[in-house]
Amino acid sequence: MTSENETQFKPRPSNGRAWVVGIASGVLALFIIPLAIAGGEIPLLLTIFLLIVAFAATAPLFAVAWYSPLITYIVGPESITLSMGRMMHDTIRFEEISRIERRPKLSVSLLSAFRFPGLAVFDVDYVDANRVRMLATSASKNLLLIDTATKRYGITPADESAFLDAISHHLPDEAEIVESAADRKQRGDDVVS
């Protein structure tokens, strides 16, 4: 719930939740189907252990899928709050922001953690942006990167222009908002390579 001096922004729509549920269900099936086929041939304690491992391995994925519709970016008088229900809640104070950059594409590292088609949460490693604290409905395309002295955040507001308008007058004078070369080229501005 936001107060009257806060503006709430939702992320771009995506099918990321379906991907996460599908992957988690597939992993769970990899455990349960062999147990079902084996019937009573596997000792009860081993069956219980494998079921506990299966649910422990998939519970974080199902939790992300459950909370992902709650992704919200809240612009307040002193900060931006990135929220995904009880699962994730980060606050970025305006005075800490040094740069905001729109990136049309990032190269994802193979070692990334919670990154799926249409959803990226928590810390994700990128080849060309290092570690980014993500709360976005895209893993690598059309991201807003918010830099502070200690962290880089990645978000995907549905109404990017309104979001940037809402925060622009709060940013420190030295903070810069940078468009990508691809955006400037698409608009017809001169691009120096």
In a domain, 113, yes or no: yes
Both ends of the chain: CA-CA distance in Å? Answer: 45
User: Would you call 126 exposed, middle or buried from its count of C-beta atoms within 10 A (0-12, 13-18, 19+)?
Assistant: buried
Domain boundaries, position 142? 12-193
Chain segment 141-164, per-residue pLDDT in tens: 888 999 998 999 999 999 999 999
Q: Per-residue confidence at 111, pLDDT binned at 50, 70, 90?
A: low
Whether 7 is covered by a domain: the verdict is: no
6 belongs to a structural domain: no
Does 193 have pLDDT greater than 50? no
Q: Does residue 2 lie within any of the structural domains?
A: no
In a domain, 5, yes or no: no
pLDDT in tens, 170-187: 888 888 888 766 555 655
Q: Would you state the pLDDT for residue 191?
A: 47
Does 4 reside within a domain? Answer: no
Q: Structurally, how many domains does the chain consist of?
A: 1
Q: Does 130 fall in a domain? A: yes
pTM of the model: 0.81
